[in-house]
Amino acid sequence: MIATPDRTPLPRDFFDRPVLEVAPDLLGRLLVRETPDGPVVLRLTEVEAYDGQNDPGSHAYRGRTPRNAVMFGPPGHVYVYFTYGMWHCMNLVCGPEGRSSAVLLRAGEIVEGAELARTRRLSARNDKELAKGPARLATALDIDRRLDGTDACATGETPLRVLAGTPVGRDRVRNGPRTGVAGEGGVHPWRFWVADDPTVSPYRAHVPRRRRS
């Protein structure tokens, strides 16, 4: 008998912990995105941890900027960035305020609202690909910079909320190098995923972008 996922919202103190504790503990949790078109609910299956100014791979490694300000807290807020001039990616801020750590949401399974997600991800060949990768996840859930700074732990109505769901047992959690991260930051085994889950994105090492001649 499959247990019914817990729909209790995660409290702020869940996120107010070291990023390497929060990241694997997010696997199996439910991300709820509310829009005027309806809700989409995603079960998290892959994440990456970024440890602020201790991490060369983090956007906050060189300190606070207008772009990364949300990463400095409070915990439980949403950090959204725009990359390659075309894609958005979503993170959940964690750790104590001022620590600038966050977890990138890399992939998940759409468990509710798949019909709506399909209208946003027309190139997906099947439902397992709807949120298979951080940019695809953001597209399927209609996440962009307008949501940067959103409090995912707020009471009352909120466009984003994380529910307790069904945490993944440690025997099913895998970890390895982060995808596409260059240099020293790329060697950290801070990508976490659910073993053998078909929605997890494939690992890709960093490939330098070629300059146009």
In order along its 213 residues, the chain shows pLDDT tens digits of 456 889 999 999 999 999 999 999 999 999 999 999 999 999 999 999 999 888 888 888 888 898 899 999 899 999 999 987 789 999 999 999 988 999 999 999 999 999 999 999 999 999 999 999 999 999 999 999 999 999 999 988 899 999 999 999 999 999 999 887 877 767 789 999 999 999 999 887 766 555 554
Domain extent listing, the chain: 6-194
pTM above threshold 0.95: no
Instruction: Give the residue carrying structure tokens 């919202």.
Output: 9
State the Cα angle at 41 between 71 and 180, rounded to 5°.
Answer: 45
Give the length of the chain: 213
In angstroms, the CA 142 to CA 136 distance is 10
Query: Alpha-carbon dihedral of residues 95, 98, 100, 105, nearest 10 degrees?
Result: 50
CB neighbours of residue 3 within 10 Å: 6
Strand partners, 94: 101
Strand partners, 6: 165
In angstroms, the CA 15 to CA 26 distance is 10
CATH 3.10.300.10 fits 6-194, yes or no: yes
